[in-house]
């Protein structure tokens, strides 16, 4: 006979095990940063890797465009003015990718996770003339997997808004001065402004409705210098949850929306007030998800502005599937140094063997139009490295394309290849 007591204990243990897994990792924490120090865009400083694990780098056609905030394994919140289509599909001229776990945009970091935006839900009342309701939810084609460098920010609880003068933090890769965007993610501490004084600052004049409604928050230093700027749009403004003494959960209260200039005296940045959109956010992320199950899905992500990176074949390490055609394009043409070279080196290689590579193969092309074949590879020996240099007229732009094809049977482990710019 089963004792109900034992049954309860077993159930409780199971529940703890489940909760233990489900509750890890908590939102709004930065486990990679052991000291818990709030280190510090305009007038900010470089963030340590892992100190803003909810930060998203949003790219449009491979070019850095905006920031965003991870709030769910499949959803990122950003500013509506960052994306120019209300529904992203294959007919769209613009493609968006989102990188989590990024810190230095010039190189691929170990915990980076790149995803396609498969759907963009712009707020139905977004007004592009006044920037009212400047919020969009972006659905990743696959869940991000959480680790110490990729974690969501906490969402505000019902009616939870930061008190004026609370020290909050904004972050992004936007302009650090009028001429320069950084490689390293920047962060800046900004106090929340009294709403009334923000209305006065941004008062448009008589008979024009104020843009400073309860749907926005203002944050900044009236003495200028520290601020968010162009390129930071869509990124997070987080504040410590009240009562957690600045060491606890970071809550996403604001989304970088607009300002008048950057870091100007007497001005303050305007942020979408996330709290007022909580209901819309919850409703939207509850819709049935869309997935992109193409095994080559990561291959089309364009790689630009990077001094180094790594490319893996689909399912690398176990085995690749049949009938693949994956294409990776790396465009390093913005590397200005005339003596720069790009070295492409395979680190692992196991592709179905044939003397003429007639079954499965990896091809590397270079040249402005990717029309110069550098090599065709298969088998289990690491191919020789390929070096592209700007001084050789064949590839002055340091662009290359890797094409991987497999036939209809026999898959092997696949390959990983690294590229690195040196001068």
Are the C-beta atoms of residues 211 and 131 closer than 8 Å to each other? yes
Provide the minimum distance between the beta carbon of 279 and Ca ion in the complex, in angstroms, as a whole number.
35
Told to check if 15 binds Ca ion by CB under 5 A, we report no
CB of 80 to Ca ion, least distance (A): 26
Q: Compute how many residues bind Ca ion; rule: CB under 5 A.
A: 9
The Cα-based distances of 226 to 67, 301, 314, 358 in angstroms read: 18, 34, 43, 59
- Catalytic entry in 134, 141, 227, 360: 134
Q: Does 393 qualify as catalytic in the annotation?
A: no
Rg (CA), the chain: 24
Q: Is 233 a catalytic residue?
A: yes
End-to-end CA distance of the chain: 76
CA-to-CA distance for 16 and 13, rounded, in angstroms?
Answer: 5
400-419: contacts with Ca ion (CB under 5 A): 406-407, 410
392 Cα distance to chain centroid = 35
Quick one: which segment of 166-174, 260-268, 346-354, 374-382 binds Ca ion (CB under 5 A)? 346-354
When the beta carbons of 60 and 109 are compared against Ca ion, the nearer one is 109
As measured in angstroms, the least distance from the Cβ of 304 to Ca ion is 12
**Which one of the listed residues 51, 81, 102, 331 is annotated catalytic?**
81
**Nearest residue to 163 via CA among 193, 196, 189:** 193
Q: For residue 134, indicate whether it is catalytic.
A: yes
Residue 150 CB, nearest distance to Ca ion (Å)?
Answer: 12
Question: Counting contacts by CB under 5 A, is residue 102 touching Ca ion?
Answer: yes
| Contact region with Ca ion (CB under 5 A), list: 137-145, 171-179, 345-353, 363-371 | 345-353
> Do 79 and 255 meet the contact criterion of CB atoms below 8 Å apart?
yes
Least distance to Ca ion from the beta carbon of 235, Å? 16
How are beta strands 63-72 and 186-191 bridged, if at all? unpaired
| Options 202, 352, 399, 404; binder of Ca ion; rule CB under 5 A | 352
Cβ proximity to Ca ion, 77 vs 324, nearer residue: 324
Please identify, among the stretches 29-37, 101-109, 131-139, 148-156, the one whose residues bind Ca ion according to the rule CB under 5 A: 101-109
- Tokens 């600052």 found at: 201
* Contact between 314 and 414 (Cβ < 8 Å): yes
Residue of 51, 78, 171, 233 with catalytic role: 233
Give the binding range for Ca ion (CB under 5 A) out of 90-98, 225-233, 348-356, 414-422.
348-356
- Which CB sits closer to Ca ion, 363 or 372? 363
Query: According to the binding rule CB under 5 A, does residue 183 interact with Ca ion?
Result: no
- By the rule CB under 5 A, 359 interacts with Ca ion: yes
Does position 310 interact with Ca ion (CB under 5 A)? The reply is no
**Contact at 8 Å (CB) between 189 and 167?**
yes
Residue in 360, 365, 367, 402 binding Ca ion, rule: CB under 5 A: 360
Cite the active site residues.
Answer: 81, 134, 233
Residues of this chain that bind Ca ion (CB under 5 A):
102, 104, 109, 352, 359-360, 406-407, 410
């Amino acid at each position: 006979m089963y004792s109900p007591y034992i049954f309860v204990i077993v159930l409780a243990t199971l529940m703890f095990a489940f909760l233990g897994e489900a509750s890890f990792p908590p939102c709004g924490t930065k486990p990679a940063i052991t000291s818990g120090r709030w280190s510090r865009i305009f007038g900010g400083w470089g963030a340590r890797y892992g100190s803003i694990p909810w930060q998203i780098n949003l790219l449009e056609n491979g070019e850095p465009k905006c920031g965003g905030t991870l709030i769910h394994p499949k959803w990122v919140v950003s500013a509506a003015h960052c994306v120019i289509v209300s529904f992203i599909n294959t007919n769209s001229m613009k493609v968006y990718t989102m990188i989590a776990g990024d810190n230095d945009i010039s190189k691929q970091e170990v915990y980076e996770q790149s995803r396609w935006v498969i759907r963009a839900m712009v707020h139905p009342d977004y007004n592009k003339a006044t920037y009212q309701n400047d919020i969009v939810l972006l659905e990743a084609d696959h869940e991000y997997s959480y680790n110490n460098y990729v974690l969501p920010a906490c969402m505000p609880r019902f009616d939870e808004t930061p008190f004026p003068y609370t020290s909050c933090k904004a972050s992004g890769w936007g302009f650090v001065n009028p001429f320069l965007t950084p490689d390293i993610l920047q962060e800046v501490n900004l106090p929340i402004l009294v709403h009334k004084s923000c209305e006065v600052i941004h008062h448009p004049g008589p008979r024009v409705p104020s843009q400073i409604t309860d749907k926005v928050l203002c944050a900044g230093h009236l003495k200028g210098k520290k601020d968010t700027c162009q390129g930071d749009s869509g990124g997070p403004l987080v504040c410590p949850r009240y009562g957690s003494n600045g060491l606890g959960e970071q809550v996403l209260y604001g989304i970088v929306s607009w300002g008048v200039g950057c870091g100007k005296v007497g001005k303050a940045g305007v942020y979408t007030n996330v709290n007022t959109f909580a209901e819309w956010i919850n409703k939207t992320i509850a819709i049935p998800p869309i997935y992109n199950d193409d095994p080559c899905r990561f291959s089309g992500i364009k790689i630009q502005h990077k001094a180094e990176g790594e490319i893996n074949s689909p399912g690398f390490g176990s085995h690749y599937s049949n009938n693949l055609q994956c294409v990776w394009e790396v465009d390093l043409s913005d590397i200005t140094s005339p003596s720069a070279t790009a070295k492409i080196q395979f680190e692992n290689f196991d592709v179905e063997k044939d003397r003429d590579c007639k079954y499965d193969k990896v091809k590397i092309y270079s040249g402005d139009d990717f029309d110069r074949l550098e090599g065709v590879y298969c088998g289990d020996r690491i191919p020789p490295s390929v070096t592209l240099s700007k001084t050789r007229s064949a590839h002055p732009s340091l662009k290359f394309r890797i094409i991987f094809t497999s036939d209809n049977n026999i898959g092997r482990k696949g390959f990983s290849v690294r590229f690195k710019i040196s001068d």
